Amino acid sequence: MPVNASSSASSRRNLLRASGLAGLVMAGTAVTTGSAQAAPAHTGDVLHLDTVAALRALNTKPLTDGTHVIVAGYNTPGDGGTMALRWNKKSTTAHNAGTVIAPNGTPKTGRWHQLHTGTLDFRTFGHFDAETPADAALDAMINDHSVHRIEAHTDLLFTKRHLFDRSNIELDFGGHHIRTEGIEKNTHDNPFGAVLSFRGTVTDTTVRHALSGKVIELTDTFPVPDAKAFAVGQWWSVQVDPVKGGGGDERELQKLVEITEIIDAGHIRIGYLNGWELAEGRTLTWTRIEPVHNTHIRNMVFEGAGPDEYTGSHPVSFEYAVGCDVSGIHATGTFWPVIMRRWCTRFRTEDCSLKNPPTVEYGGAGYLTQQIYCLYGRVADCTTSNVRHLNDLTASAYCTVVNCHGDGDDAGGNPFTTHGQYEHDLLFDGNSGLMDIANSGAQWGISAKRITVRRHVCSWFTANTKITDLTLEDITVIARPTFDQAGTLTVNADGAQVRGCTAKTFAVAQRSDRSTRPTTISDCSFEPPAGAVLVQTPVTAPVHFVRCTFKGVDGVVLRGAGPVHLTDCTVTGADDAAPLSVGSADLRIDGGTYHNTGIELSAVRDQRITVTGGTRLTGGNKTKALLGRAAGSGSTTWDLTGLSSTASGADTAHVRIADGTNHYAATGSRFTGGVLHLAPGALDSVLHTSCVEDGTRRSAMPEDGDRVRTDGNLIL
């Protein structure tokens, strides 16, 4: 029903009266007409205007300083741009169309200042869509230190790359689209040229000194020349000089740390347990930092711009920041990492995603998030599609990656990685996607320590560089025909603990020898391709397989010289399979079942094989010998106790020794069917006693003498 002018005017008077604005009807009339006849406002009176345009058109000459006004909307009443403002007749602050509004003509003095509780909205700057750049509004709000929260309730367009040092503020974009078409060019190789870049201040206060003594691992106490240069609560970046003879960026220590205690004149305590020992004489450089604190960015759908390092865009970067979190950013087509961090401590990145960046080939580009020199971070509930990395932890420590999932990684963009720049104490839990740890090259040191990965699913997992004390639990590697048909899982034999894992191809490598704990693979299942190398040539550390299952084995190779111990393992060969080829200097088999496979010592070096604990050998193989040796130059020693061997064919040997120099002892063992072939000319000593030979033919056996005893057996 149409409202007549009389009822409209009556309703307006009632609104003013109900709002405590009685007596300002004449002022309201002046607002509407823009007349110079407006009456001065009285103390406690509040003007009411429909729009910002009306506010700017208002004749302010009669207004008392401190007059308040409520604007019903920015362009139209109720459009979300509602705000309260106060008139400051002496103000000369620059007009920004939101927190500071000048009357038309922008006089030298007199401004309307927005009243707020610390929360501001882009709509109060006139932004309701992504048609007009909102950069100036963003700058105005962030640079106003009375603002602690900024909200967006519509899509927005940004065309600038903003750099702030602002702390204690939250930006919540409400899940709306952020667009960046036409954004200004970035500089070369600059992943910190984000739309929203926050960077702490690096002061000119530095302390540089050589260590007078060793700094032990896992200490938070550091020697300094003069502790008076530091104060509790300050933040400092600390880094050690590069490793002598190592890569150009190979440093064990690069972190942003807080000073927590002045211990004495020459020692300080920091909020970080150092992960690597530092030798006497190494040089430390301390630089005092004024970090960005508690700045959080949340909830946006981000559309990347161009396809290269200059025209491409990405939303967020933090450098020298403490306690700054990111959540709910879902990006498409960003060039540099969606969330880039360096020198950051205590942070969360949660519920973020990236799809289809312009490249996965350009170094540093196409990431969801990268952390460099970071501490105490948590990355959780994130996803990626067709990216280079979901998460990269470089020179970082005490961080956790939880429930993150990367797909579309066929191009080799493994979602989970570290550079190998001395990362330590990282946990990956419940993730999926290719994983590659500490493998970016010698420039950074290819080193890491105490990395734990559990409940992870992927089609390729490699951790074969200088990774110390790696722990893998419940890892599932499933071969994928579009990427790694071998389904590879590789670890470094430097304190690796692999438990409950499944892969097609498993390999043990060795690039370092730093750990005091053994390398143990337990309760795992593997199905290696023919001729796969299980223990690689460089391995000298002991490797222990416990209760593991190997299926379809055909000529698998244990090439390394280090001791190999198999306890209660089940090894099943493929049809007409070649036996395991073993180069280990010391092979020990305790229990377990070996069917249609067998073991052949390579004799490339002197070797010892010990078989105990009720080990069962059954079936046959391509060489028709369940235990044998090749014609290498090394001597071999055989100790068989409690072995049960059942040959599937009359011409299959339980033991065949026909070449080289050998020492053989078998006691308390049972041989069923098949043959025993112990060539007299190949044996320097023989003890074969207390054994049961059930239907077993001796095709070769030395006669008893000073170095040979073959009596005391039960022949059936």
How large is the average pLDDT for residues 395-417?
Answer: 93
Task: Write the DSSP symbol of residue 192.
Answer: T
Give me the mean pLDDT over the 697-702 stretch. Answer: 96
**Averaged pLDDT for residues 468-493:** 95
Confidence band of 20 (pLDDT split at 50, 70, 90): very low
DSSP code for 8: H
Which pLDDT band, with edges at 50, 70 and 90, does 413 fall under?
Answer: confident
* Selection from 370, 294, 352 nearest residue 325 by Cα: 294
The pLDDT of residue 37 is above 50: no
| CA dist., res. 194 & res. 295, Å (int) | 15
How deeply is 410 buried, as exposed, middle or buried, from its count of CB atoms within 10 A (0-12, 13-18, 19+)? middle
**In this structure, are residues 309 and 190 in contact, taking their beta carbons and an 8 Å threshold?**
yes
The residue type found at 362 is Y
Does pLDDT of 578 surpass 70?
Answer: yes
Residue 669 token pair: 């063992």
Q: Residue 2: its pLDDT value, please? A: 40
Phi, psi of 688 (to 5 degrees): -130, 100
- Residues near 58 by Cβ (< 8 Å), separated by ≥ 6? 30, 31, 34, 38, 47, 49, 69, 103
Q: Where are the alpha helices (DSSP H) in 547-635?
A: none
pLDDT of res. 22: 32
In the predicted structure, residue 6 carries a pLDDT above the cut 70: no
Average pLDDT over residues 152-180: 98
Helices 25-33 and 5-18: angle between axes, nearest 10 degrees = 120
For the ranges 38-52, 105-119, 616-630, the lowest mean pLDDT is seen at: 38-52
Read off the tokens for 372.
């460099």
Mean pLDDT of 85-94: 96
Q: Which residues of 71-108 are buried (b: 16+ CB within 10 A; e: fewer)?
A: bbbbeeeeebbebebebbeebeeeebbbbbbbbeeeee
pLDDT band per the 50, 70, 90 thresholds, residue 42? low
CA 315, 325, 134, 330 dihedral sign is positive
**Residue 543 — φ and ψ, nearest 5°?**
-125, 130
Structure tokens at 268: 């300080």
Give yes or no for residue 19 having a pLDDT over 90.
Answer: no
Give the C-alpha separation, 423 to 583, whole Å: 33
pLDDT given for residue 16 in this prediction: 35
Burial of 277-289, coded b for 16+ CB within 10 Å and e otherwise, reads: ebeeebebebbbb
Half-sphere exposure for 120 (CA within 13 Å, toward CB): 28
Cβ neighbours of residue 522 closer than 8 Å, sequence gap 6 or more: 498, 499, 500, 545, 546, 547, 548
At 104, the amino acid letter reads N
Structure tokens of 425? 């104490």
